[in-house]
Amino acid sequence: MHDRPRTRCTIAAIPAHLQTIHPGRLRFDPTKENSTGILQILEPTSKTAVGLPHRLPDAADRGPHLSADDQRWQLALRIAVSRSLGRSQLLSDFLLYIVERSIQGRRGEITEQQIGVAVFGRAEDYNSNDDNIVRSYARKLRKRIDDYYASEGREETLRLEIPRGGYTPIFVEHVSPSEITPEPSLALEPLEEEAADELRQEPRFARPAEVVPAPALHPKRSFTPGMFFALLLGILLGVGAMLLKQSHLFVSRAEATSHTLWAELFNGDHDTFIVPSDAGLVIMQRLVDRPVPLANYVNGTYRTRLKADDLPNADEILKLGSRRYTNVVDLDLTAHLAQLREVVPERMLLRYARDLRMDDLRTGNAILIGSDESDPWIQLFSPQLQLSFEYEPNSDRPSGFVNSSPRPGERALYTTNGQEDRTFGIIAYRPNLTGTGHVLIVAGLNTAGTQAAAAFLLDPSTMMPTLQRAKLADGTLQPFELLVSAGNVATNASTPHLVLERIGLPAAH
């Protein structure tokens, strides 16, 4: 943990000597008193707690070659605070880190390993082959820089690019099309008058042509422009209808209803994080009979505590907590989600549960797959859920979904205890942590339960009644929860059916 105080860098926190040039451009005024010429940005550390801001090194830690007057550094600052980067502190940190090192000639530090440690708070010895967070964010950063030049930065004369295959930025002077002088067009020289007269004259020795009466034929029909355009329109309509049919734009009513849900979860305004379960965490918890709270999971102390307790085979158990395991059901659901026509590819990110950050659930959309036991991030939304998962390590007490407000005919606990041939799963649609996006939870009591919930979710006909009831007058969806049940045959779910439904957030107690 850093001893230095942490401050969050926002646009409002930029010093007064950063003056506006035009929308999307900022510059330093080095003549102002006490101007350091350096904007301090937050950077994560290897021990950063969940939800704490990040920072890059202070001015005293920077190299001697970074000048506030450097056009490359000014450009990087403009992009970092632009709307195109959104509110992602990590993207801003990433950009400023690689630009700073490049300007200072410290390109040896612009590696995936170094960026993972300095920007994303990874341990010094982390394995970048297993953890692809730097590559994932690099793709996002390239896309956001392109967005900047297409909107706020379209008048920029200096372009910043991050070539694929590396992370070292390059700067290219750009000339706008309006500044390019077109080449003069070549005009045909007019014919000399004498040559024109000759062309108009008949050949000197030509004989008048004999007029031969034509045989009686059918009247010749002229091809008018109207007929041509009618034919062309018919061809275009036929081709268009064929393409529409092939592209599945003729959708059923159920598919159109499901579109409302997927369009809210996948859009160009937010990143959407798909988070499969941590299967290794489940096995580890079963071996030690100890649930893992979210805070301990994110900061990694659940592994150090296990080592300190000196449990038998602790080293082997710790391997389960450090490696990345998931199950085929979660991957199958992820593959189906990626094929939805509403998906914005550059905005959909697959994130392992251990790599997710609190900031992702504040500013983006998320689809959390699993249960509290396999995906501790679901614990953040338990207060909003009327159906919450309760894990009991003691086999004498059943684990299951607790129904906080049972209605007539409903149970207070839905469990597989004594009914191993049945399973349950939930589908919960909730606001993200700041109410600016959405979170979809797809969870089961076991793998078969998650499979049942996923099958129900992906079937537009089964989801349509709930989505119609949850739809508001303005076309948006209000929160909802579903409990589904299915047969469990050798950890495979049969056809799921709806057990209970809740529309809206639970009443405050």
Q: Which domains does the chain have, with CATH numbers?
A: 11-178 (no CATH), 255-278+326-503 (3.30.379.10), 279-324 (no CATH)
300, with CB counted inside 10 A (0-12, 13-18, 19+), is middle
**Residue 310 neighbours by CB under 8 Å, 6+ apart:** none
Between the alpha carbon of residue 37 and those of residues 29, 76, 82, 134, 166, the distances in Å are: 8, 13, 19, 28, 28
Q: How far apart are CA 290 and CA 394, in angstroms?
A: 10
Residue among 445, 501, 496 at smallest CA distance from 478: 501
Tell which phi-psi region holds residue 85, choosing left (phi > 0), alpha (psi between -120 and 50) or beta: alpha
pLDDT at 214: 46
497: β partners:
485
Average predicted confidence (pLDDT) for the chain: 74
> Distance between CA atoms of 14 and 9, rounded to whole angstroms?
8
Task: Give pLDDT tens digits for 225-236.
Answer: 666 667 777 777
Which value, to the nearest 10 degrees, does the dihedral of the CA atoms of residues 387, 389, 394, 395 take? 80
Q: Which of 55-64, 162-171, 280-289, 490-499 is least confident?
A: 55-64
> For position 62, what pLDDT does the model report?
47
Tokens of 37: 């010429």
Angle at 259 between CA 258 and CA 260, to 5 degrees: 90
Q: Which residues, listed in sequence order, are joined to residue 492 by a DSSP beta bridge?
A: 489
Confidence band of 313 (pLDDT split at 50, 70, 90) = low
CA distance 452 to 488: 9
Phi, psi of 125 (to 5 degrees): -105, 20
The pLDDT value recorded for residue 309 is 58
- Measured in degrees and rounded to the nearest 5, phi and psi for residue 435 equal 75, 10
Instruction: Give 371's DSSP letter.
Output: -
pLDDT higher than threshold 90 for residue 337: yes
> The tokens of 79 are what?
């992009």
Residue (of 32, 140, 18) closest to 81 by Cα position: 18
Residue 180 CB-density burial (10 A; 0-12 exposed, 13-18 middle, 19+ buried):
exposed
Percent of the chain with pLDDT over 70: 63
- If one counts every other C-beta atom within 10 angstroms of the C-beta of residue 135, the result is 13
| Residue 417 pLDDT | 72
**What is the per-residue burial (b if ≥16 Cβ within 10 Å, else e) of 89-126?**
bbbbbbbbbbbbbbbeeeeebbbbebbbbbbbbbeeeb
User: Residues 196-208: what's their mean pLDDT?
Assistant: 42
**For residues 229-253, average pLDDT:** 62
Instruction: Please name the residue that has the structure tokens 């679901």.
Output: 378
pTM beyond 0.95: the answer is: no
Helices 460-470 & 447-458 angle (0-180, nearest 10): 70
Residue 284: how many other CB atoms lie within 10 Å: 22
Which phi and psi (to 5°) does residue 115 adopt?
-65, -40
pLDDT of 315 over the 60 cut:
yes
> If you average pLDDT over residues 64-72, what whole number do you get?
74
Helix (H, G, I), strand (E, B) or coil at 323: coil
- Averaging pLDDT over each range in 54-68, 248-262, 377-391, 436-450, which range is the top one? 436-450
Does the pLDDT value for residue 443 go beyond 80?
Answer: yes
Q: Give the integer Cα–Cα distance in Å for 81 and 92.
A: 8
**Model confidence at 191, in pLDDT bands (50, 70, 90)?**
very low
Kindly tell me if the per-residue pLDDT of 242 is higher than 80: no
d(CA 455, CA 462): 9
Which range (92-101, 170-179, 431-440, 458-467) has the least confidence?
170-179
